Amino acid sequence: MKICVYAICKNEEKFVQRWYDSMKEADKIFVLDTGSTDGSYDALKKLGVIVKKEEIKPWRFDVARNISLDMVDEDTDICVCTDLDEVFEEGWRDKLEKMWKEDTTRASYTYNWSLDDSGNPIISFYSDKMHSRHGYRWTRPVHEVLAFDGVEKRVFDETLVLNHYPDRSKSRGSYLPLLELSVKEDPLDDRNTHYLGREYMYYERWNDAIDTLERHLNLKKATWKDERCASMRFIGRCYKHLNRPFEAEMWYQKALLEASHLKEAYTELALFYYDNKEYSKAIPLLEKALGIKKGYKTYITEWFSTDYSIYDFLSICYFNLGKYEKALECIDKALEFDKDERLINNRELILDKLNL
């Protein structure tokens, strides 16, 4: 099989070597440089990557992806789209070849979008940016997706893993206008309507976020419970910031009813009570969240639904209710995950209360 990697790049010189070392299992590597002013272009060229420079005006991710895809040789069997802040675990090519069948058009794999300092996944879900050379085009100005002109035949290997190590210094400034454009182009697109509402929330445009997220929930295609739950939780957050606690609590409860299989639904409602010092209401929700085994992979995962955070919150709740032995039990569980100095100090406070 002929397997080629393709990507877009702008000012990512510091990632070039690491990315290339991960991608070099491919037969060829193609990169569209969309206007780097650092040494990205020369660094890629030096490593033997086939690089082309072209600025996209006005900027759209789908246009850039399609130009980079057009660079790939026509006789390629499998195209693999990645970004320069991503790294495959070694042996990915062999796994891809083994799962790919004669009629396969697309392959899925594990994508660790966020990892802790020890390399353990925090947010992990399945991605599917491996596809046949012909019949696919990228669509949407941002949060772009692959569209196929026929009937897809998919394969999947969970052990094929791509890790993401994002550049936190990069601006997301282009996302909001591109999301607004995307929803304007396709008002019925549930996915980017949800993303647009979330983006308004990030910008603290609370009322715009509420209106957009409610519109998402009313779209016929908005049927995925995990994402619907997230929209409801985000609406709750917006009302919380607007100092409208009654509406906030109502939406958090709606989210819980929508997707009671998710830790996030329990934890965010618990945090609402926690922030209001209603610790006796928060505790059973946090305990319920702990009882949900993390058997799902979705980008919806939130940092506060990790076991470490839940034990941390539980410990504080129990401490404030004077249940110091339970608080100690929970803080010790949290410390099994992280030896954070704050956790250690909290443990000392609990021991003082227990006279230990």
Residue type, 165: Y
| 200 and 159, same domain (yes or no) | no
Asked whether residue 177 carries a pLDDT value surpassing 80, the answer given is yes
| 346 and 246, same domain (yes or no) | no
Instruction: Kindly state the average pLDDT of the residues 9-37.
Output: 97
| Among candidate residues 145, 164, 183, the one where a domain is terminated | 164
Asked whether residue 77 carries a pLDDT value surpassing 70, the answer given is yes
Domain count, the chain: 3
- Closest to 15 measured CA to CA, from 32, 38, 173: 38
Question: Is residue 299 one of the residues assigned to a domain?
Answer: no
Query: CA-CA distance, 133 to 110, in Å (whole number)?
Result: 21
pLDDT at position 291: 93
Question: Is residue 43 one of the residues assigned to a domain?
Answer: yes
Answer for the pair 129, 110: CB distance below 8 angstroms, yes or no: no
What percentage of the chain exceeds 70 in pLDDT?
99
Asked whether residue 183 carries a pLDDT value surpassing 70, the answer given is yes
**CA distances in angstroms from 257 to 200, 226, 254, 266, listed in the order given:** 24, 11, 5, 10
Answer for the pair 188, 219: CB distance below 8 angstroms, yes or no: yes
| Single pTM value for the model | 0.90
pLDDT in tens, 85-144: 999 999 999 999 999 999 999 999 999 998 888 888 888 899 999 999 999 999 999 999
Query: CA-CA distance, 356 to 354, in Å (whole number)?
Result: 5
| 77 and 156, same domain (yes or no) | yes
Question: Is residue 281 one of the residues assigned to a domain?
Answer: yes
Under DSSP, the state recorded for 89 is P
Query: CA-CA distance, 114 to 123, in Å (whole number)?
Result: 5
Strand partners, 138: 146
| 270 and 310, same domain (yes or no) | no
For all residues of the chain together, what is the average pLDDT?
95
Under DSSP, the state recorded for 49 is -
* Confidence category of residue 185, pLDDT binned at 50, 70, 90: very high
Asked whether residue 296 carries a pLDDT value surpassing 70, the answer given is no
| Among candidate residues 164, 184, 201, the one where a domain is terminated | 164
Residue type, 300: I
| 274 and 335, same domain (yes or no) | no
| 270 and 246, same domain (yes or no) | yes
| 179 and 157, same domain (yes or no) | no
| 23 and 98, same domain (yes or no) | yes
Instruction: Kindly state the average pLDDT of the residues 191-220.
Output: 98
Helices (H), 11-138: 13-23, 40-46, 61-70, 92-99
Tell how far CA 353 is from the center of its chain.
40
pLDDT in tens, 34-75: 999 999 999 999 999 999 999 999 999 999 999 999 999 999
Question: Is residue 295 one of the residues assigned to a domain?
Answer: no
**Dihedrals φ, ψ of 7, to 5°?**
-155, 165
| Among candidate residues 118, 140, 164, the one where a domain is terminated | 164
Q: 111-120, 197-206, 337-346: which has the minimum mean pLDDT?
A: 111-120
Q: For the chain, give the number of residues.
A: 356
Distant-in-sequence, close-in-space partners of 8: CB < 8 Å, separation ≥ 6: 31, 32, 33, 34, 61, 64, 65, 68, 83
- How crowded is residue 220: how many other Cβ atoms within 10 Å of its Cβ? 7
Instruction: Kindly state the average pLDDT of the residues 164-190.
Output: 91
pLDDT at position 122: 82
Tokens of 218: 């009313």
Answer for the pair 45, 67: CB distance below 8 angstroms, yes or no: no
Question: Is residue 338 one of the residues assigned to a domain?
Answer: yes
| 91 and 235, same domain (yes or no) | no
pLDDT in tens, 227-242: 999 999 999 999 999 9
| 246 and 311, same domain (yes or no) | no
Asked whether residue 307 carries a pLDDT value surpassing 90, the answer given is no
Write out the H or E segment, with its range, that includes residue 8.
Answer: strand 3-9
Tell how far CA 291 is from the center of its chain.
23
pLDDT at position 295: 62
**HEC-encoded secondary structure of 223-253:** CCHHHHHHHHHHHHHHHHHCCCHHHHHHHHH
The CATH number given to whatever domain includes residue 265 is 1.25.40.10
Question: Is residue 298 one of the residues assigned to a domain?
Answer: no
Question: Is residue 297 one of the residues assigned to a domain?
Answer: no
**CA distances in angstroms from 205 to 67, 196, 248, 260, 295, listed in the order given:** 34, 11, 16, 28, 34
* Confidence category of residue 169, pLDDT binned at 50, 70, 90: confident
**CA distances in angstroms from 287 to 19, 267, 313, listed in the order given:** 41, 9, 10
Question: Is residue 352 one of the residues assigned to a domain?
Answer: yes
| 142 and 17, same domain (yes or no) | yes
Domain residue limits at 324: 306-356
Ordered DSSP codes for 107-175: EEEEEEEEE-TTS-EEEEEEEEEEEESSSEEEESSSS-EEEESS---EEEEEEEEEEE---TTS--TTH
Name which residue leads in pLDDT, 166 or 63.
Answer: 63
| 321 and 201, same domain (yes or no) | no
Query: CA-CA distance, 85 to 15, in Å (whole number)?
Result: 6
Q: 110-114, 151-155, 165-169, 257-261: which has the minimum mean pLDDT?
A: 165-169
The CATH number given to whatever domain includes residue 128 is 3.90.550.10
